[in-house]
Amino acid sequence: MGELAQKICKLGNEEIINMLNTAYAEEWLAYYQYWLGTKVAKGVARPEIAKELKEHGNEELKHAEWLADRIIQLGGTPILDPSEWKKKAQCKYEAPSDGNTEILVAQNLMAERCAIARYQQICDKCKDKDFETFRISEKILKEELEHEQEMEDFMTDFKYY
Ligand SMILES: [Fe+2]
Ligand SMILES: [Fe+2]
């Protein structure tokens, strides 16, 4: 753990670590939702959508990694037991029980909007107090905004099939 990293953070590490762990749980669930979505996808534009879902899933996993590294740097512990993920997450995990691509995309769009709200919240909390957490959250936020846009574009395209 980074000794100075912990001192620099004026907000109170506990509060930040707690927020980061919520985001961390949400990233794993988002990763799994996407990953499984690629397996069960069927229907309109399946190959294109499955490819996009796979890319998004890989990015969610990368976000989880950035968050884990930051949590450790601040002296915290990333959630150790996956059974805690759903308890800790505030964004809803939408099981891809219907592989219809239109339903998958709509579910993932909801998840992206929740993620955007999460990183807006973290950025807002950290912007004057913890620049590094701010920087990481801003970097993730940028990708979540792109994810939202891509899901919205598919929603629009569905109208033309
Ligand atoms: Fe993410
Ligand atoms: Fe995302």
**pLDDT tens digit sequence for 110-156:** 999 999 999 999 999 999 989 999 999 999 999 999 999 999 999 99
How close is the Cα of 115 to the center of ligand 1, in Å? 7
Report how far apart, in Å, the C-alpha atoms of 107 and of each of 8, 37, 97, 99 are.
39, 10, 11, 11
**How close is the Cα of 60 to the center of ligand 1, in Å?**
4
Please tell me which residue, 1 or 105, carries the higher pLDDT value. Answer: 105
Q: Nearest CA to 2 among 65, 64, 87, 72?
A: 72
Residue-range domain boundaries for the chain:
10-158
Ligand 2 centre and the CA of 15: distance in Å? 23
Q: Average pLDDT of 71-85?
A: 96
Q: Report how far ligand 2's centroid is from the alpha carbon of 59 (Å).
A: 7
For 27-41, what is each residue's pLDDT tens digit?
Answer: 999 999 999 999 999
Matching CATH number, 10-158, of 3.40.50.1100, 3.20.20.80, 1.10.10.1590, 1.20.1260.10: 1.20.1260.10
- Asked if residue 17 has pLDDT above 90, the reply is yes
User: Which ligand has its closest atom nearest to the C-alpha of 146?
Assistant: 2
